[in-house]
Amino acid sequence: MDYERAYKQGEDSPLIEPTVLVKSSPVDRRYGVFFIFGFLGLSSLLPWNFFITAKEYFDYKFRNTSIVPFDSKRNNTRLQSEFESYLSIVSQCSNLFFMVLTVLLVRSINVKVRVVVSTVLVTVIFIITTVLVKVDTDSWQQAFFFITLCLAAFMSGVQSVLTGSILGLSAMFPPLYSQSAMIGQAAGGTFSALMSLLTLATGDEPISSALIYFLIAIGVTIISLMLFISLHFMKYSKFYMSFQNEKPLGEINDYVRRKRFPESRMDFYYSIFRRIWMHCVSICLVFWVTLSVFPAVCALIRSSRVMETAWTMTYFTPVVCFLLFNVGDFVGRLATFLCKFPGPNRPGLLLTLSFLRIAFIPLLMLCNAQPRNHLSVPLMDDAYPIVLITAMGLSNGYISTLAMSFGPLSVEEEYLEGAGIMLALAMSLGLALGSSFSYLFVNML
Q: Residue 418 is part of a domain; what is its CATH number?
A: 1.20.1250
Residues 257 and 322 in one domain: no
Residues 134 and 170 in one domain: yes
User: Minimum mean pLDDT among 261-265, 364-368, 385-389, 395-399: which range?
Assistant: 261-265
* The predicted structure's pLDDT at residue 443: 86
* The predicted structure's pLDDT at residue 371: 84
Percent with pLDDT over 70 in the chain = 88
Residues 255 and 375 in one domain: no
Q: Is there a domain that residue 21 lies in?
A: no
Domain count, the chain: 2
Q: Is there a domain that residue 4 lies in?
A: yes
Domain final residue pick, 218, 233, 262:
262
pLDDT tops 50 at residue 7 = no
pLDDT tops 90 at residue 166 = yes
* The predicted structure's pLDDT at residue 259: 46
Residues 190 and 294 in one domain: no
Contacts (Cβ under 8 Å, ≥6 apart) of 69: none
What's the mean pLDDT in 311-339? 89
Residues 172 and 247 in one domain: yes
Residues 308 and 339 in one domain: yes
**Banded model confidence at residue 70, pLDDT cuts 50, 70, 90:** low
Domain final residue pick, 235, 262, 289:
262
What's the mean pLDDT in 44-72? 81
- Range 8-12 contact pairs with CB under 8 angstroms and sequence separation of 24 or more: 10/256
Q: Is there a domain that residue 22 lies in?
A: no
Residues 277 and 335 in one domain: yes
Q: Which uninterrupted H or E stretch holds 107?
A: none
* The predicted structure's pLDDT at residue 19: 40
Residues 174 and 287 in one domain: no
User: Minimum mean pLDDT among 47-56, 59-68, 216-225, 255-264: which range?
Assistant: 255-264
Residues 189 and 43 in one domain: yes
Q: Is there a domain that residue 44 lies in?
A: yes
Cα–Cα distance, 400 to 172 (Å, whole number): 18
pLDDT tops 80 at residue 257 = no
Q: Mean pLDDT of all residues in the chain?
A: 84
Domain final residue pick, 215, 233, 262:
262
What's the mean pLDDT in 329-357? 93
Cα–Cα distance, 424 to 418 (Å, whole number): 10
* The predicted structure's pLDDT at residue 65: 83
Domain span including residue 400: 265-445
* The predicted structure's pLDDT at residue 75: 61
Residues 214 and 329 in one domain: no
State the CATH number of the domain containing residue 8. 1.20.1250.20
* pTM for the structure as a whole: 0.83
Sign for the CA dihedral angle at 336, 342, 346, 352 comes to negative
pLDDT tops 50 at residue 124 = yes
Q: Is there a domain that residue 401 lies in?
A: yes
Q: Is there a domain that residue 403 lies in?
A: yes
pLDDT tops 90 at residue 73 = no
> Tens digits of per-residue pLDDT, 410-422?
888 778 888 888 9
Radius of gyration of the chain (CA): 23
Contacts (Cβ under 8 Å, ≥6 apart) of 265: 104, 107
What's the mean pLDDT in 371-391? 91
